[in-house]
C-alpha cells in the first residue's frame, strides 16, 4: 500500500506543544480554584502568542492550489494522526491490517467531556472521521467525506482505554466505512462514513515550508 499524503509534516515542536496543551486543558478544567501556576501559564502564553504572531501566518489561507506561491501558511497533512499535532483532536493509536480493516485504541481525557464523566458526542463524531480518513490514507486511496452518521448506543467514558475497529469497502467511485467504538465487549457507538474516491494525481500543488528567515 502506497500512503496517500497531502501537505507537510508537523514540526516536532508542534507535536510536543499539542500534547502539553491538551494535558494543561484537562488540569485547568479540573482546578478547584485560582492557582498562581495558572497565572504564570497565562503570562507565558501571552508572551509566546505575541512572539509567534510576528512569524506565523495563522490568519492567512494555506499555500495550496492557486495560493501555492502566496504569503499564507504551510498546510499540514491532515490525513493521519491529527491529534498528534492539534490539541483540539483526540489522540489515538491505529493499526491498519490491510485496505479493508483497521483497529486501534483511544483514551479521551477531560478536555473532551460533555455530560459528567462522559465523552461529548461531537468529539466522538470527529474521532470517527479522523480514524476513517487515517485508514483511507494509509491504504493509499482517500477522498472527501460526503456523509457521516453516528449512532450512540451507550455513553463513552472518559479516561478509559477504549478499542475501535474500522471496515471499509471500495466500489463505484465510492468508499464506505463502518467504524465501532467499544469498552471491552460493550458497543458504545458506531458510525457509517461515505466518501468520494479521489485521484491523488489531480490534487492541487502544496507549498513546502520556507524555513526560518
pLDDT tens by residue, 46-62: 999 998 887 777 778 99
Residue 201 is classified by DSSP as G
- Give the domains, in start order, of the chain with CATH numbers: 12-202 (3.10.129.10)
With a cut of 70, which residues of the chain have pLDDT below it? Answer: 1, 212-213
Q: Return d(Cα 69, Cα 205) in angstroms, integer.
A: 10
Return the pLDDT at 212: 57
Whether 122 and 108 have beta carbons less than 8 Å apart is answered as: no
Considering only CA atoms, give the Rg of the chain. Answer: 19
pLDDT tens digits for range 10-32? 999 999 999 999 999 999 999 99
Q: Return d(Cα 183, Cα 36) in angstroms, integer.
A: 38
The predicted model scores a pTM of: 0.92
Return the pLDDT at 2: 84
Q: Return d(Cα 48, Cα 68) in angstroms, integer.
A: 27
Return the pLDDT at 117: 98
Return the pLDDT at 59: 78
Return the pLDDT at 213: 46
Residues 6+ apart with CB under 8 A from 199: none
Beta bridge partners of 196: 174
Cell digits for 62? 494555506
Return the pLDDT at 211: 74
Residues 6+ apart with CB under 8 A from 135: 94, 96, 102, 166, 168, 177
Return the pLDDT at 135: 98
Amino acid at each position: 500500500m502506497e500512503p496517500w499524503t497531502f501537505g507537510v509534516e508537523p514540526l516536532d515542536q508542534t507535536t510536543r506543544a499539542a500534547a502539553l496543551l491538551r494535558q494543561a486543558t484537562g488540569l485547568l478544567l479540573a482546578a478547584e480554584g485560582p492557582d498562581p501556576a495558572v497565572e504564570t501559564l497565562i503570562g507565558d502564553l501571552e508572551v509566546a502568542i505575541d512572539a509567534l504572531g510576528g512569524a506565523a501566518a495563522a490568519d492567512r489561507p494555506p499555500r495550496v492550489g492557486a495560493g501555492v506561491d502566496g504569503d499564507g501558511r504551510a498546510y499540514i497533512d491532515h490525513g493521519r494522526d491529527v491529534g498528534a499535532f492539534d490539541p483540539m483532536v483526540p489522540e489515538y493509536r491505529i493499526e491498519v491490517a490491510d485496505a479493508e480493516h483497521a483497529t486501534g485504541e483511544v483514551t479521551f481525557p477531560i478536555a473532551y467531556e460533555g455530560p459528567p464523566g462522559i465523552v461529548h458526542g461531537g468529539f466522538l463524531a470527529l474521532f470517527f472521521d479522523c480514524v476513517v480518513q487515517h485508514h483511507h490514507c494509509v491504504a493509499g486511496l482517500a477522498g472527501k467525506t460526503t456523509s457521516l452518521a453516528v449512532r450512540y448506543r451507550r455513553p463513552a467514558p472518559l479516561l478509559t482505554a477504549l478499542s475501535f475497529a474500522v471496515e471499509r469497502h471500495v466500489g463505484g467511485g465510492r468508499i464506505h466505512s463502518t467504524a465501532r467504538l467499544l469498552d471491552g465487549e460493550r458497543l458504545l457507538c458506531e458510525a457509517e462514513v461515505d466518501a468520494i474516491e479521489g485521484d491523488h494525481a489531480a490534487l492541487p500543488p502544496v507549498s513546502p515550508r520556507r524555513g526560518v528567515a
